[in-house]
Amino acid sequence: MAKREVSEDQRGLVLEEHRELVRHVSELDDIAAGAAGAGWGPELGRKAATVTEHLKQHFSGDAEGTFFADVARQAPHLIGKLTGLTSEHAEILNEFRQVAEQAAALDGSDMAAASRLATRTRRAVATLRRHEAEENELIFNAFWDDLGGGD
């Protein structure tokens, strides 16, 4: 089966979306790592809300078939993995929403609560990074891994 060529525009849009999401997630992780002070909770909440909005766009793009429909057509053997990744979207999105809500309500003087929220945030970030790495590998395998190609 010949590999479908992904347009340069499509590639550029996906790459820019991923770069922006990675930047916001990295900033959120940095904020969580520095858990302290009265302004920490609101700052974490704002950044978690920003990540949540980017994830909504990112995940709806995947679910509506931008790349994932092409993956299913191009590499039907990857549909099981694709389905598994898609099923994680709601859970990941919900976790970031909850982090944003908890951060907004955080009492700056409760260091134990701040520590728990920082840990939860960093776990959510790690889960998202693992998820994105698996999505990237799936897309790479579908479009650029030449299965069965001869020399």
Per-residue pLDDT for the chain (151 aa), expressed as one digit of tens each?
444 455 667 667 777 888 999 999 999 999 999 876 667 899 999 999 999 999 998 888 654 456 777 778 888 888 899 889 989 999 999 999 999 999 999 887 788 899 999 999 999 999 999 999 998 888 888 877 655 444 4
pLDDT at residue 3 in the model: 47
DSSP secondary structure code for residue 37 in this structure: S
pLDDT at residue 48 in the model: 98
Instruction: Decide: 52 and 100 in contact? Cβ < 8 Å.
Output: yes
Count of other CB atoms within 10 angstroms of residue 129: 14
Instruction: Decide: 4 and 70 in contact? Cβ < 8 Å.
Output: yes
pLDDT at residue 149 in the model: 47
pLDDT at residue 70 in the model: 78
d(CA 80, CA 85): 9
Instruction: Decide: 75 and 142 in contact? Cβ < 8 Å.
Output: yes
Instruction: Decide: 48 and 96 in contact? Cβ < 8 Å.
Output: yes
Coil, helix or strand for 35?
Answer: coil
Q: What is the tally of helices (H) and strands (E) in the chain?
A: 5, 0
d(CA 130, CA 136): 10
